[in-house]
Amino acid sequence: MIAVTVALDWTPNTNHAGFFVAQNRGYYKAANLNVTFLNPAQDAYKSTPASRVANGQATFAIAPSETVVSYNCQPKSSAKPQLQSVAALVQSDTSAIVTLQSSGLDRPRKLDGKVYASYGARYEGRIVQQMIMNDGGKGDYTEVTPPMLGIWETVLAGKADATWVFMGWEGIEAKRKGIKLNAFSLEDFDIPYGYSPVLVTSKDILREQGETVRSFLAATAKGYQYAAEAPDVAGELMCQMVTDTPLDQGLVIDSMQMLSEHFLTRDGLWGVQDKTRWERFLDWLSDRQLLTTSVQSRNKVEGVTASLDDLRLGKAGEIIPRDSLSSDALFTNAFLPQGR
């Protein structure tokens, strides 16, 4: 059997449901694939999912679309490979910047002077800053980087005022616990966000292992189609498959009932990405001068990397011309079943 490794973007959750359904129902085995999932909890998120593809530890990684943008905007001296998105896990943006209702922070502009718990990503802080400014604020806030897998808990514990979550997971968890949230979606504040999460791989893998990629995506598509049609059963199957970080079945099923409406296109297809959506996000990043050469680091090296504070203050290197970055280089539908 052909070995395929998928680096998850978070501990197993319902964004990943189709993968676990495909494994449980034998879709991967039928395609002669031996699929392994890398849970970031295994190393406390010391390695990002995309870096695992870049260094050869994984065939695929799950990441937001801005990770793909970042890997295609590396300095010329960088040895990192360019990555490409081959499928959108969900068709709608189910993420939001959230605060606790009890905090009184019911508008993004009220985050001025507050603490945002960050994942430390290259564009994240500046996207949040732009949301605050679009709502009439100054975009002046403190960006902290707690341990990755504890970010949500920092908000619940009152150690941070806001963070970015998936409403289909943390949002459902909060609702089940009676925790009321203020949720600010990016679209509501004039940010044409891209797909998140997406499945990414390297262009070398696409060139050298194209048939394996096609087989994996075809089997995965069947998993997500099953999850969309039978969300409760799919949730139960997922709970059976995930043993390293046991899941709350009630949370999973409630989440699946919400997400099942977002897995597929109106035509019942999984994974399809729209060029216009990618272009709108790239245009927005460029118009706001967020496409810049500096790469973020939690341990800044002067002249080589930038701190998150630097990025928000505009100390982000040179502007990358919009016409140098084509969406065709960032995503492809060609390896999906309908792209054959």
pTM, entire model? 0.94
Sign of the dihedral through C-alpha 244, 249, 251, 256: positive
Between CA 235 and CA 259 the distance in angstroms is 11
Between CA 233 and CA 237 the distance in angstroms is 6
- Residue 3: other Cβ atoms inside 10 A: 10
Mean pLDDT in residue range 56-61: 97
pLDDT digits (tens, 9 = 90+) for 63-122: 999 999 999 987 666 667 889 999 999 999 999 999 999 999 999 999 999 999 999 888
Between CA 90 and CA 74 the distance in angstroms is 27
Q: Is the peptide bond before 231 cis (omega within 30 degrees of 0)?
A: no
Between CA 221 and CA 118 the distance in angstroms is 32
pLDDT digits (tens, 9 = 90+) for 182-200: 999 999 999 999 999 999 9
Residue 193 tokens read as 């966000």
For residue 300, name the pLDDT band (cuts at 50, 70, 90).
low
For residue 260, name the pLDDT band (cuts at 50, 70, 90).
very high
pLDDT digits (tens, 9 = 90+) for 28-51: 999 999 999 999 988 888 889 999
